[in-house]
């Protein structure tokens, strides 16, 4: 039995398949889900909600919208979001949880950008060119915006 032809085919086919294979890299964002209701006396009395809409970003306090950040050049203004959340963090330094609400047709990349902006921000130091990473609200909950 002559298998030379079959081996020639394998010699050509295997490198072709290896070269044309698509290699994907998965990135996992760890969500630290806030715990259930506990002792309400030592918890901050504010709810931080970031709502991702097609028109832009909204920041809410659980009762209503307190800031509206429209898109600039068809992009979400995550820098302004970080600045606003930094102000909230300075007023409530013990607050670590936030809720991110997303409309149905929002791209996954935009959701990840907003999650990164809610989790931390980078601030330039006053007397140097270095930036400091400040943790804002690392305990995030995700939900659907209505």
For residue 73, CA distances in Å to 16, 77, 79 come to 43, 9, 14
Structural tokens at position 61: 């306090």
Q: Nearest 5°: phi and psi at 89?
A: -65, -35
Residues of the chain with pLDDT under 50: none
Q: What is the pLDDT of residue 118?
A: 92
pLDDT at position 113 is: 93
What local confidence, expressed as pLDDT, does residue 36 receive? 60
Task: Look at residue 120 and give its three-state secondary structure.
Answer: strand
Q: What does the pLDDT look like over 88-105, one tens digit per residue?
A: 999 888 888 999 999 988
| pLDDT score, position 2 | 77
Q: Is the pTM of this model over 0.75?
A: no
Output DSSP code: residue 41: G
């Amino acid at each position: 039995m002559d298998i030379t032809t079959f081996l020639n085919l394998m010699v050509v086919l295997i490198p072709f398949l290896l070269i044309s294979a698509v290699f994907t890299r998965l990135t996992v964002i760890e969500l630290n889900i806030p715990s259930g209701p506990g002792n309400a006396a030592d918890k901050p009395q504010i709810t931080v909600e970031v709502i991702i809409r097609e028109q832009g970003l909204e920041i809410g306090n659980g009762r209503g919208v307190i800031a509206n950040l429209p898109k600039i050049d068809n992009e979400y203004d995550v820098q302004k979001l970080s600045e606003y959340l930094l102000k909230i963090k300075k007023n409530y330094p013990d607050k670590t949880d936030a809720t991110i609400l997303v409309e149905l047709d929002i791209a996954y990349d935009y959701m990840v950008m907003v999650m990164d902006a809610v989790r931390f921000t980078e601030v330039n130091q006053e007397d140097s060119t270095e930036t400091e990473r400040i943790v804002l609200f690392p305990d995030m909950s995700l939900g659907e915006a209505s």
